[in-house]
Every structure is written in C-alpha cells, then in structure tokens.
Amino acid sequence: MFFKQIVTPGLGCFSYVIGCPGAREMVVVDPKRDVQDYLDISRDQGMRISHVIDTHVHADHVSGNQELASRVGCDIMMYATSPVEFPFTKLSEGDTLEIGNARLEVLHTPGHTPDALSLLVTDKSRGDEPWMILTGDVLFVGDIGRPDLVGEAKLDEQIDNLYNSLYGKLAKYPDYLEVFPAHGMGSLCGKGMSSKPSSTLGFERRHNPMLGFPDRKAFHHAMSQDFPARPKSFTHIIGTNAHGAPLLERCPLDRAMEPAQFESRILDGAVVVDVRDAAAFSGFHIPGSLNIGFEPSLANWVGMVVDPKSDLLLVVDSKEDYDRMTTELHRIGYDNIHGYLTGGIMAWVYSGRPVDRLSQITAQLFKGMMDDGEAKSIVDVRTPAEVQGGGIPGAVHIPLADILEGKHDLPEDGSHVLYCATGYRSNIAASYLQRHGFWNVQALAGGFLAWSRAGYPTK
C-alpha cells in the first residue's frame, strides 16, 4: 500500500494519497485546491487517480475535488447526505472501497459537521485489521473539531454528535490505531492542535484533554464555551465547496499593472493588500492599504480581515511573491485578484502619487514616553489566553477580531499604540484602523516579546 500525507503550510491542512502500485490506482482524501502535488505523485508512482474523497464540506479551505475531476476524470465521493450541488458518489456507514491492497471503510462521524465521515484504512498485504484512521475534523492531535460552524441553532445537536462520535464510535477501536487528521497546528477548525501531524488513539485517549471528560454533561459544558474567531472567509468557503469550486486558470495571466491602472482600480473600490513586512509597510504605503505580511498563517489572516467577495490588488516585492500570494488566496476562495503593482511600491512613489506612513515605535522609545507622562492609549490586540500570560501595564484589551468587527470604542482622533505578541497582528490592526479614519495609530515594533525582553514592567 502507498500512503502519503501532504501538508498545506499556513492553513494547517492535511490531505492524503492512498493507493496500490500493483493495482496502479490511488485515491486522494481532502485535496487542496491546487492539485499539482497529487498529479506529480500519480505520474511518478504510475497510479491513476480514480477517486477523490472529502471527509466533509470544508469551511477553511476550498476543496480540489472539482479540479481533480476536471483534470483526470476521477469519481468524487462524500457522505450520502452532504449538502452539495454537484454530482457525487454517496458513501454510507460501513461502505468499503478496495484499491488493490488498500481497503477504506467508511465511518459516519458527525460533530464538526453533520455529514462528516472518517476512513478506516487497512493494508491487506500486512493484515486484515485496520492500521490507521483518517479522522477528518472530528479528532485532531491534541484537540477535536469545533462544532459551532453550522450555526447556533444546531450547536447542541452537534455537540451531542461530537460526543457520540468520539466517546462512542471511536471508543470501539484499539489504542494502536494510528490517527491521521485533516488539520494540524495553524488551523482555525480547533483550539489547541499539536504540531505533530499524527498520533494514535491510545495516546489521544491518555493525553488529549477533550477526550478526558467523565460524562456527556461535562463534555457539553466545555464545548459550549468560546470558540476561535470565525474568519469572514468561512461562510464563503462553505458556499464555494457546496456549489463546487470554479476551476482555476490553467495558464494564469501576468496581471502586472502600472501605477495609473492600479490607481484606477482602487478608485473603483478594490482593496489593496500589501504583503511586505511591517517595517517596509510602515516606511510608506499606498493610502488605505492593509498590511498582511507573508508568514505561514497569512491565509488565515486574510480570511479574518478581507471580505472574500472583494476585488483585490496586491503590493508585492516580486512576481514570485505575487504567484505565491495568488496560490494562498485561491486556497481560501479569494478569486477576484485583479493584479499587482509592477515595480512594487517604488513605482508608486516615483509616479508622484501620495503615500501614507504607519509609525512603528520601539519598546525603548515607548517606555520613555510613558515615563515622561505622554498620554497614549495602549491597546493589546492579542487573544484572551495570551493576555493571561502577562501584558503591558495600563493596556486595554481589544482582541484583533473585535477591532475588525468594530467592537470597540476607541476615538478616531485619539493617540493609540497597538501591540500583539511580535508585531504582526498589531500592524494588521493598525493598518485596518488607519484605513477607517484613525490617523494617529502606531504599532509597537516587536510587540510584547520586545517589551518583555527589554526588561520592562509587565502585569
């Protein structure tokens, strides 16, 4: 049996290839939208992609099922009641798919979504018992899937489903069964996922805190608490996956724009996303642009900040960065990308067009201003869990998600210094506020990390 886990950096998504070289056939489970990795494996291993299986209708990334079906004519398979609008082969509890020496058996494991499935995988060349289980989003390494994405009206039902799947159905299987989930660290489909990409049922039973509740009531209480912020992109991604994602362009155009054309699109309402680092963006940037710098979790932050139906323009340092960015955006369903500024920000500057600055203030300078009694509003944009570990004295806590949703009473004419853990999120927040009329905002360079390492007081 051939088995391979494929990691999508940043989104924390795992997809899988399971096949049999002898049978020259393979299946792809939970594919990402850009499918070249699977096509490469198919070619290199001499195995035809015969099936693609989605364990559920994903909320955090666009499935590659339509892309693969278009490219190789494979069969799309999902749980029988999956709410999608394209043809697919319906899978039910107990169904099996035989691919040479590989056997896949379907388990219905609702909880993250009502129509989720897991796959028991057996390598018949080694034995007749399942070797591993692909758990989709019901069980992660160190966590479990969040049940709230289908809406408040069905939350209690989903929590009960999740309990039944984890404490009932999966409890029947042995400790040695290897666990391969659809997500790992970086995903917003859970709270505290491990960086380790796989585990065993036995280890999770002993060390996963979400599997240690004494009864259904205790589990229900814990799962009724706060969940990670839901990005703007999730509803759009769910809809895209339910309808069937549009096919990606086979030969993307080089959409390089001169400043005049770029400016014209801005005047038509396009959103400018500047992916340079915080220091470069702070030096000068196009007025109204948002700073979401390249880092592994970039796609998650775009999903939090930008409406997925927006027309987008990108400020990048190179064509290579533009290609990387479009791949990241396509993975989360942001397809209205109109192009990038050819020549980068300097082309805009040399054209004589106006620029803005976003002040970065160092920990040393900020501490001196505080000691001198200069009035500054200090805003901590980290998560509640991070704040419990300490912060800057006098800071008001407004999580980034609340700033993006307008859930704050910061005065537009006030003087605000924003900080996060390292400066990345505070620059997102500051650029967002600046775009919405806050003219005197600053970001603490290096964030709380720089402040604490400088030896300054914390609370």
User: Domain check: are 63 and 171 in the same one?
Assistant: yes
Asked if residue 129 lies in contact with residue 102, where contact means CB atoms within 8 angstroms, the answer is no
pLDDT band (50, 70, 90) for residue 254: low
Q: Is the pLDDT of residue 376 over 80?
A: no
User: Domain check: are 155 and 59 in the same one?
Assistant: yes
pLDDT: is 226 or 414 the higher one? 414
At 250 the pLDDT is 53
Radius of gyration of the chain (CA): 24
User: Domain check: are 363 and 333 in the same one?
Assistant: no
Please state, for a pLDDT cut of 70, what percent of the chain lies above it. Answer: 97
> Where in the sequence is the domain holding 401, given as residue range(s)?
359-453
At 24 the pLDDT is 97
Instruction: Identify whether 247 is part of a domain.
Output: no
User: Domain check: are 27 and 171 in the same one?
Assistant: yes
User: Domain check: are 375 and 449 in the same one?
Assistant: yes
Per-residue pLDDT tens over the stretch 346-356? 999 999 999 99
How, if at all, do strands 441-444 and 396-397 pair?
A: unpaired
At 67 the pLDDT is 96
Instruction: Identify whether 66 is part of a domain.
Output: yes
User: Domain check: are 335 and 398 in the same one?
Assistant: no
Residue 251 annotated to the active site: no
What are the residues whose beta carbons fall under 8 Å from the beta carbon of 179, sequence distance 6 or more? 132, 133, 135, 139, 141, 198, 199, 200, 201, 204
At 393 the pLDDT is 93
Averaged confidence pLDDT in the chain? 93
What are the residues whose beta carbons fall under 8 Å from the beta carbon of 214, sequence distance 6 or more? none
pLDDT: is 148 or 1 the higher one? 1
Instruction: Identify whether 242 is part of a domain.
Output: no
pLDDT band (50, 70, 90) for residue 295: confident
At 115, the amino acid letter reads D
pLDDT band (50, 70, 90) for residue 37: very high
Could you tell me which of 133, 216, 210 has the C-alpha nearest to residue 170? Answer: 133
Q: Is the pLDDT of residue 124 over 80?
A: yes
User: Domain check: are 183 and 283 in the same one?
Assistant: no
pLDDT band (50, 70, 90) for residue 245: very high
User: Domain check: are 148 and 194 in the same one?
Assistant: yes
Q: Is the pLDDT of residue 184 over 90?
A: no
How many domains are contained in the chain? 3
The span from the CA of 117 to the CA of 361, in Å, is 50
Per-residue pLDDT tens over the stretch 190-236? 666 778 999 999 999 999 999 999 999 999 998 887 777 788 899 99
* Annotated catalytic residue, options 13, 20, 74, 420: 420
Instruction: Identify whether 174 is part of a domain.
Output: yes
User: Domain check: are 103 and 40 in the same one?
Assistant: yes
What are the structure tokens assigned to 296, written together? Answer: 């592994």
Per-residue pLDDT tens over the stretch 424-457? 999 999 999 999 999 899 999 999 999 999 999 9
Instruction: Identify whether 245 is part of a domain.
Output: no
The CATH number covering residue 385 comes to: 3.40.250.10
Q: Residue range 104-124: average pLDDT?
A: 97
pLDDT band (50, 70, 90) for residue 252: low
Q: Examine the fold and report which residue of 237, 271, 302 is the final residue of a domain before the chain moves on.
A: 237
119 forms beta bridges with 106, 134
Instruction: Identify whether 440 is part of a domain.
Output: yes
At 185 the pLDDT is 79
Q: Residue range 172-185: average pLDDT?
A: 94
User: Domain check: are 443 and 308 in the same one?
Assistant: no
Instruction: Identify whether 325 is part of a domain.
Output: yes
Q: Examine the fold and report which residue of 304, 319, 350 is the final residue of a domain before the chain moves on.
A: 350
Give the global pTM: 0.90
Per-residue pLDDT tens over the stretch 82-91? 999 999 999 9
pLDDT: is 253 or 165 the higher one? 165
Q: Is the pLDDT of residue 98 over 80?
A: yes
Q: Residue range 43-63: average pLDDT?
A: 97
Asked if residue 165 lies in contact with residue 110, where contact means CB atoms within 8 angstroms, the answer is yes
User: Domain check: are 365 and 333 in the same one?
Assistant: no
User: Domain check: are 160 and 124 in the same one?
Assistant: yes
Q: Residue range 374-402: average pLDDT?
A: 91
pLDDT: is 27 or 298 the higher one? 27
The CATH number covering residue 200 comes to: 3.60.15.10
For residue 322, CA distances in Å to 151, 171, 200, 325 come to 35, 47, 39, 5
Instruction: Identify whether 294 is part of a domain.
Output: yes
At 191 the pLDDT is 65
Q: Examine the fold and report which residue of 175, 205, 237 is the final residue of a domain before the chain moves on.
A: 237
pLDDT band (50, 70, 90) for residue 280: very high
At 246 the pLDDT is 92
